Amino acid sequence: MSTSAGRRVDKPWGHEEVWAEGPGYVGKLLIIRAGHRLSLQHHAQKVETIRVLSGELEISVGDHPERLQTERAGPGAVIHIPAGLLHRMRAITDLELVEVSTPELDDVVRHADDYGRS
């Protein structure tokens, strides 16, 4: 495990904490405040699997911004997001998620962002 485990990163929507990191994965805890949403984004290489620990979220996924499918998910739900798939999460209530992904890659491509990030 890398020394970055335990690292907290504040975000405009809440924060994330790296809890584990190895040669083939990175594990994060995401805390998203109610009403906030993450960027509409995709990753060129990164693959994510998300498990909802508490709260309720709305997740939109699709291959094109005009063809997103949106559904709600609550505690226990598991969501797999392959590389290249557009996705966006919105916290309906305060939300805790565990995300396990391929090694931390800075390959996010933002298509829309509420906080002015590009």
Locate the domains of the chain by residue range. 8-111
> What pLDDT, in 10s, does the model give residues 78-112?
999 999 999 999 999 999 999 999 976 778 889 99
Q: What is the CATH number of domain 8-111?
A: 2.60.120.10
What is the C-alpha to C-alpha distance for residues 106 and 5, in angstroms, rounded to an integer? 17
Please indicate, yes or no, whether the overall pTM of this predicted structure exceeds 0.85.
yes
User: Is 98 in contact with 51 (CB distance < 8 Å)?
Assistant: yes
Decide if 49 contacts 78 (C-beta within 8 A). yes
| Residue that has been written with the tokens 């690292």 in this structure | 7
- Yes or no: say if 69 and 8 are a contact pair by the CB < 8 Å rule: no
Model confidence over 20-58: pLDDT tens digits?
Answer: 999 889 999 999 999 999 999 999 999 999 999 999 999
